[in-house]
Structure 1
Amino acid sequence: MERTLTHEARGAARGEAPQIRRAGAAGGVRTDIQGLRAIAVALVLVFHLVPPALPGGYVGVDVFFVISGFLITGQLLREMEAGGSVNLPRFWARRARRLLPAALLVLGATLLAVWIMAPSGFVPSFLLQLAASAAYVQNWVLAAESVDYMADEAQVSPVQHYWSLSVEEQFYIVWPVVALAAVLLAAWAARRRERPGGGARPGRPGGSGRPAPSARLCFGILIGAVALASFATSIAVTAFDPAQAYFVTTTRAWEFAAGGLLALLATSAADPLARLSPAVRSAMAWAGLAGIGVSAALFTGGTPFPGWVALLPVVATALVVAAGEPRTRWAPTALLAARPMQWLGDVSYGAYLWHFPIIVLVPFVLGRPMGVLDWGAIVAATLLLAWLSKILVEDPFRTGAARSWTNGRTLAITTGAMGIMLALSLVGVDTAEKRIDTARDEVSAALQDPDTCVGLPALDPDSGCDPEPAEPPIPDPSLADKAPERCLSPIQGSELRVCEYGAKLETADRAIALVGDSHAEQWLGALERVADRENWSLLVMAKASCPFIAGDRDFDAATEAGKRALQQDCADWNERAVEKLEDTPQIDTVITSAKSTNRIVAVSGKSWRESAREAYAERWAALPESVRHVVAIRDTPQMPGNVLRCVTENGAEASRACAVPEQEAFHEDPLAEAAEVSQPARVSLVDLSDYFVVDDEASPVIGGVLAFRDSHHLSWAYSEVLAEPLGEEITGVLEPEPAPEPAREP
């Protein structure tokens, strides 16, 4: 590989854009790297637009990471060798001019579009994500949310893709510091060897006789250490918690480091790549492109990633970069250097920035499923905006008047712009939350108004209401998960959270406890209304994905280590819940429910359902004697995973268009089966299944009310709708009609 280090060193000292060039390359720019950028952004765009078409297209991000590590390390090496040090302010200012103007432009445009286009229920979370993106900590925010059980089916933010930009920015902050540390380490070692008596050999005036390690060598050692530590972390965290591992910087740093090690190799005096024949380098390039293609085609959302699996796209990218631009007839050089590829590579940064907000926000405006023409329009709009932002924003800031700004001025202006974007996003959250409160109050008022044809009145044939209203359902799907109250402990941890509603424990006519997983907690809205009406004290103890049971949840989707931790957390939480019931003898009734399809660890050769039935019965039998009633609520139906999207796209037709056959929506419920065979004097079953079925179909819209907040949880609104029938069932259990007196003998 030929190098022009002297020319490049001068360019680095002047602050030119980072490019590791090869003599003879068109325009001095690596066309193979530009082609790789085009491939990477195309993979990501297709993956986000039509995921089934390219289920592993997310590896385009890994391609970008390796390229960034290669280019930035090369730039730092040239600066170190030309000037003997690394100018941190100049490096950061150059990166800020290159990246922040376009990124902040897209954030500003997205902020405006969110207020105009996004449903009100999504706006607060979108604004918080915008703030995280402006501060370049989006990846850590998403990592924290990845363990939120209730966020599994949450609406994707239009700036979620900024997670990878956040990782890159964090890399740009840390990597020059690592380079400077290498310079200082080399200087320290040199001074130590030059000191008299500093380990000198006999007969020599000083020094050890061996040359002090160079800054390049120290940099290589540090990069290698980062690579090994990060790769080990990536494997470990991916095995334990793949959702978090995908986003955090520590599991991704090795990908940048891989590019960095390649840059060290490619710019070394003994560059072994320069001795490879064009034929070998052509084969390397094709092998690398094939590896990227295989990753994109065969990886899926279920692939544990990054971990060791990410070696395939990372090594594949490194092979293409290492091959350079081989001049053989069958090399991919011409393909990567083709004008369309070069153009797409030039605008790849803007295309990455613009595509995701468009993909997320446009469906809110269309109100219907997107088709091929819509996809084409989104691609065209993305490329047009990417080109415009490059020539109007990126290029002027990189090569125009802004290039003459001092480092301090550049950093002050860009940091100030980030602060303004951060403030605008956060200030809007309070206003957006007030809009949600107003909309929720309007829905609650409509549900409580006996003269409105929504909810149960719409299902009453004698009410004169149309059971299928011509209006879109209430609440808006974006509000389905915005419950007035929520009391649910996270899936991780065993702390017992207790929430109190209704009357005070000391003055209540009765004390009841709602205990179980999120399918128990979903009845909070209904039970709170019942408690207020009956002067009951309601204590809620609920934990995500943790039923109130004397057995172990399977957590079959988790890794082995993660499964053991979650099982222990759930078991400890169960014991604390029982202790709370023992310590509160006023509680005479426990109400519970659980997701019917959450598997329990099978015991003694029995099926998991048989084991679950016995474990529920065992838990109820072990409750303190002060608990005289156990009310088990049969689980609610489960809908397709895209139910809210279906409702959004079909509007007033959703009650039919999004319904599923009754037998598909309802599943065998071990908790209900346990209640049916338990002591009838203590355990009772409440079954409200009929309130979800219309003409033998389970519908997400019942009586004009959106019944679900995701594929398997009730919406807060429909929980309130069912307060009356649920209250009647429970009071009937707690206060049974007196048995008729036996007939007297004549």
Structure 2
Amino acid sequence: MQLMAHPTPAAPTTVQPTPTDRGFRPDIQGLRAIAVMVVVLYHLWPTHLTGGYVGVDVFFVISGFLITGHLWREIETRGTIRLGSFYARRALRLLPAAGLVLVATAVAGYLLLPDDRWADTFKQLVASAAYVQNWVLAGNSVDYLLQNAPDSPVQHFWSLSVEEQFYAFWPLLILVTMRLVRRKQAVVAVLSALLLVSLAYSVYQTGADPKQAYFITPTRVWEFAAGALCALVTVKARAVWGWLGLAAVLASAVLYTKATAFPGYAALLPVLGTAALILARPEGRGSVGRWLSLRPATAIGDISYAVYLWHWPLLLLLPLALEVPLALPAKVAVLAATLLLAWLSTHYFETPLRASRALKVRRWPSLAIAVSLVAAMFAASVQANAELDDRAAEAAASYTSRLDEAGGGCIGAAVFTGTDCAPPFGPGPRMSATLAVKDQSNPEYTACDPTLDTRHVLECSFGPKDAAYRVAVVGDSHATQWLGTLRRLADENRLRVKTYFKMSCPFAEAIRVLPREAKERQDNCTAWQEEVTSRIVDDPEIDYVLVTAYSAAYRFEALPGRPALADQNAAFIGKWQRLLAAGKRVVVLRDTPSMLGKSIPSCVEKEQANLRRCAVARDKALKPDLISAAAAALGDPRVTVMDLSDGLCDAQWCYGFAGDVVVYRDSNHLTWQYAQTLAPAFWQAFVKAAGPLT
């Protein structure tokens, strides 16, 4: 889900200047109200206000306008910018409310969230306190194992992180420019150039990698710069500008969807609309600014920062606390609770702290609050993660002990073949969902599976060199998931294995295409495919090549200079024909069932009393598999297929929990533990597919 952010509300004043004053602008408060309500309503009803995420862009423009205007007035009156005072004021304005929400969310999350959500939640709590949350989410967006991770209750701090990073470098930029060239026009020229460069990069990155582009700071700087220019340039605006600007903001909120490539070009509409609203100024009865200056709008604007801070954790946690689904009554309750908590925390916590003479006169207390908040969240994170690790280790030890003692029994996949088993859910100790989630970061995977950010080939070898079957196992992370099984069979002296894995990169004679992927990663995959092919073809120790892939996730195009692919099957067939020509046999492993995007660890944690809810109908989970269909289309007896679906499904269902073991570590990757329990079935299927030794 795309999340939004916003800057802080203007400091409360006892005497409000007139709308034409260069300082306080009540219409800006009204504009904040529109922006924050657009964001909140989008998160509550995303199918109705499909583009409500543009509220964040409105706030970025407002921040650029207000902060630049303030800095410029300080230059005009003092001839410089007092950086220490500026940062202290920012800390005093932002941190009290943010710290309160982070602490409250940490406590509530610890009590309400399932164990499998805590490792990532604590990581994001620290990132939010340190205002680097946007970079954490940008990293997650390109991490193959985290793209489908559940939302965290502090995920919305990403935009506040962008703002804090803007506040950190913006006064320095203006101050350095003024020191070098003491003219206002020079600052305008520098900001204009920065706007154009950032906008161009935003357009490029949105096309190349939209998930990452949404969060990172460089793609958003131009929006702040647009607001900054509104503070520095003088134009003769008309009232109609305001109405056109409001129409642009609301149109983007209504017409944009999750499918809109954003920010990029699309962000121009809400950004230019906000700039027009700011430049129009609230003068004249016909101006939109007069309406935005009315008390109902400014009242929400006054608490808009707190509204933004509270709404997202309430949206995620309140239904858990009340044990009700997120239906209309719960959504109305979230909205009411958000407004109430925002009003209370603004007037009885945030405002008194900001009005404190001790904090306003001295810089160090405000800066100390900032350091203390980050340190406290870090310490809490370390402690909580230590507890979770202890619990996970304890669960792992208990589970492993039972697995060894049972010697197979009805554990894991054996539940489908054991004569005395009660499929699919056996009694007794159960593998914890926490252990399944920890399995995602298993160092054994990363030791043999490089990411798409490199062309590097990692080769892992294990098993006796004189084993009867000498096998290369090749593919994406759906091949890597069998590493536990392969190691077990190698340890039993049944296989000599060499692995060639690459996350999100299937073994094919074609260009693998993923939606809106950076071309560099696509090229890395293509180069890896060719290097691995050469190694296998030239290796006399390899007799069999076992291939599998998450083939439903990809589309294939012909390599440069090659004829167009006759069909998608040709991508795999072309690679296999090169292996066959080198005297290798090919064994194709049908892909594992898909759980249709359902996070199995979360489901297991939540549905302890009814684990059947973590199952998917077999006919839906076992959709047509491109890689096994390619083997059938080739029709060469040297290319055979092995299918382990019966170790994951019965006649009606494919299970997320079976034989006391969590089957998947997310929605489509097997846990190491469950894959190990499939070793007997894997061996039988492989020997049958490989055929007799010659």
Q: Residue type of the partner of 1:80?
A: I
**Partner residue, 1:37:** 32
- 2:677 is the counterpart of 1:718: no
Alpha-carbon separation, structure 1, partners of 2:305 and 2:435? 31
Aligned match of 1:95: 90
* Alpha-carbon offset, residue 219 of structure 1: 2.1
Q: Is 2:130 the partner of 1:135?
A: yes
Tell me if the contact between 1:140 and 1:247 (Cα under 8 Å) persists in the aligned partners.
yes
The match for 1:257 is 225
Partner of 1:490: 451
Given candidates 581, 601, 608, the residue that maps to 2:536 is 581
Match of 1:383 among 310, 317, 339: 339
1:309 alignment partner in structure 2: 266
Contact 1:550–1:618 at 8 Å: present in 2 too? no
Residue 636 (structure 1) aligns with: 592
Look up the match of 1:294: 251
Q: What is the match of residue 284 of structure 1?
A: 241
Deviations 1:275-308 (A, max 9, x none): x4xxxx1x32222222112212222222111111
Q: Distance in 1 between matches of 2:156 and 2:503?
A: 27
Q: SS at the partner of 2:686?
A: helix
Alpha-carbon distance between aligned partners in 1 of 2:445 and 2:317, rounded to the nearest angstrom: 28
Aligned partner of 2:610 among 653, 663, 673? 653
Q: Does 1:161 align with 2:156?
A: yes
How much does 1:104 deviate?
2.2
Secondary structure of the 1:121 match is helix
Partner of 1:241: 209
Partner of 2:281: 324
Shift of 1:36: 1.5
1:96–1:411 CA contact under 8 A, matched in 2: yes
Q: How far, CA to CA, are the matches of 2:309 and 2:37 in structure 1?
A: 13
Deviation at 1:600, TM superposition (A): 1.8
- When residues 489 and 345 of structure 1 are mapped into structure 2, their CA distance, relative to the original with a 3 A threshold, is same
The partner residue of 1:48 within 32, 43, 46 is 43
In structure 2, the CA distance between the partners of 1:472 and 1:246, relative to structure 1 (3 Å rule), is farther
Distance in 2 (CA, whole Å) between partners of 1:52 and 1:642 is 20
Does 2:66 align with 1:71? yes
One-letter code aligned to 1:708: Y
The amino acid across from 1:288 in the alignment is G
Counterpart CA distance in 1 for 2:14 and 2:467 is 74
Distance 1:472 1:159 in 2: 33
Q: Is the 8 A contact 1:554 1:567 kept in 2?
A: yes
Match of 1:612? 571
For 2:507, the equivalent position in structure 1 comes to 548
User: Is 1:571 paired with 2:532?
Assistant: no
How far apart are residue 160 of structure 1 and its match? Answer: 1.8
Letter in 1 for 2:452: I
- 1:54 aligns to what SS in structure 2? coil
Q: For residue 395 of structure 2, what is the amino acid of its counterpart?
A: A
Structure 1 residues 321-400: aligned runs within 5 Å: 321-328=278-285, 331-333=287-289, 335-362=291-318, 369-400=325-356
The answer (yes or no) to whether the contact 2:129–2:374 under 8 Å persists in 1 is yes
Q: Which structure 2 residue ranges, 5 or more long, are not aligned?
A: 1-9
CA contact (8 A) 1:596 1:668 kept: no
In 2, are the aligned partners of 1:596 and 1:667 still within 8 Å (CA)?
A: no
Please tell me whether residue 730 in structure 1 is matched to residue 686 in structure 2.
yes
SS at structure 2 position matched to 1:151? coil
Q: Are 1:396 and 1:402, in contact at CA under 8 Å, matched by a contact in 2?
A: no
Partner residue, 2:622:
666
Q: State the match for 1:9 in structure 2.
A: none
Flag the 1:462–1:419 CA change in 2: closer, same or farther, 3 A. Answer: closer
Shift of the alpha carbon at 1:543? 1.0
Q: Which residue of 2 aligns with 1:185?
A: 180
Number of the residue aligned with 2:7: none
Structure 1 residues 698 and 369, CA gap change in structure 2 (3 angstroms): farther
Larger radius of gyration: 1
3-state SS in 1 of match to 2:568: helix
Matched, 1:499 2:464: no
Q: CA deviation at 1:129?
A: 1.8
The separation in 1 between residues aligned to 2:14 and 2:81, in whole angstroms, is 17
Encode CA deviations 1:298-344: one digit per residue, 9 max, x unaligned: 2222211111110001011112222222442x654465344443222
Match of 1:120 in 2: 115
Shift of 1:259: 0.5
Q: In structure 2, what is the Cα distance between the partners aligned to 1:687 and 1:143?
A: 37
- Contact 1:129–1:160 (CA under 8 A) maintained in structure 2: yes
CA distance in 1, matches of 2:159, 2:454: 29
Report the alpha carbon displacement of residue 416 of structure 1 after superposing the two structures with TM: 3.6
Give the distance between the partners of 1:315 and 1:21, measured in 2 at CA. 28
Per-residue displacement from partner, 1:394-451 (whole Å, max 9, x unpaired)?
Answer: 2122212344442244324433433333343345444433433333444444555368
After TM superposition, the score normalised by the length of structure 2 is: 0.88
Q: Among 191, 194, 199, which residue is 1:226 paired with? A: 194
Greater CA drift, 513-522 or 588-597: 588-597
Three-state SS of the structure 2 residue aligned to 1:160 is: coil
Aligned to 2:77: 82
2:556 touches 2:568 (CA, 8 Å); kept in 1? yes
Could you say what secondary structure the match of 1:600 adopts?
strand
Aligned to 2:490: 531
Residues 715 and 39 of structure 1: CA distance in aligned 2, closer, same or farther (over 3 Å): farther
Q: Distance in 1 between matches of 2:500 and 2:493?
A: 20
| Structure 1 unmatched ranges of 5 or more | 1-14, 188-213, 739-746
Q: Deviations over 1:79-110 (max 9, x none)?
A: 11111111111111111111112222222333
Q: Provide closer, same or farther for how the CA distance between residues 47 and 648 of structure 1 changes in structure 2, counting only shifts above 3 A.
A: farther
Output the amino acid matched with 2:483.
L
* CA deviation after TM superposition for structure 1 residue 252, in Å: 0.6
The aligned amino acid for 2:51 is G
Aligned-residue identity in percent? 39
Aligned to 2:551: 596
Cα pair distance change 1:514/1:359, threshold 3 Å: farther
CA RMSD of aligned residues (A): 3.3
Residues in 1 aligned to 2:321 and 2:394: alpha-carbon distance in whole angstroms: 22
User: Residue 439 of structure 2 aligns to a residue in which SS?
Assistant: coil
Listed as ranges, the matches of 1:440-459 within 5 Å are 440-447=396-403, 449=406, 454-459=411-416
- 1:393–1:476 Cα change, 3 Å: same
Q: 1:533 to 1:612 in 2, by over 3 A?
A: same
Instruction: Return the alpha-carbon distance in structure 1 between the equivalents of residues 598 and 33 of structure 2.
Output: 31
1:221 partner amino acid: A
Superposed displacement of residue 224, structure 1: 1.4
Q: CA 1:646–1:572 in structure 2 vs 1: closer, same or farther (change >3 Å)?
A: same
The change in CA–CA distance for 1:611 and 1:30 in structure 2 (over 3 A counts) is same
Task: Kindly indicate whether the alpha-carbon contact (under 8 Å) linking 1:447 and 1:721 is maintained by their aligned counterparts in 2.
Answer: no
Describe the SS at the equivalent of 2:593: coil
Among 18, 27, 50, the alignment partner of 1:23 is 18
Corresponding residue for 2:649? 693
Cα contact 2:618–2:651 (8 A) shared by 1? no
Confirm or deny: 8 A CA contact 1:227 1:254 kept in the other structure: yes
C-alpha distance in 1, partners of 2:216/2:638? 49
CA distance in 1, matches of 2:548, 2:633: 16
The secondary structure found in structure 2 opposite 1:486 is: helix
Output the CA distance in 2 between the equivalents of 1:304 and 1:19.
44
Change (3 A) 1:410 1:700: closer
Q: Matches of 1:514 and 1:610 in 2, distance apart?
A: 20
Number of residue-to-residue matches in the alignment: 675
Tell me: CA distance 1:734–1:249, structure 2 relative to 1, closer, same or farther (3 Å).
same
Indicate the larger mover: 333-342 or 153-162. 333-342
Structure 1 distance, partners of 2:165, 2:565, is 51
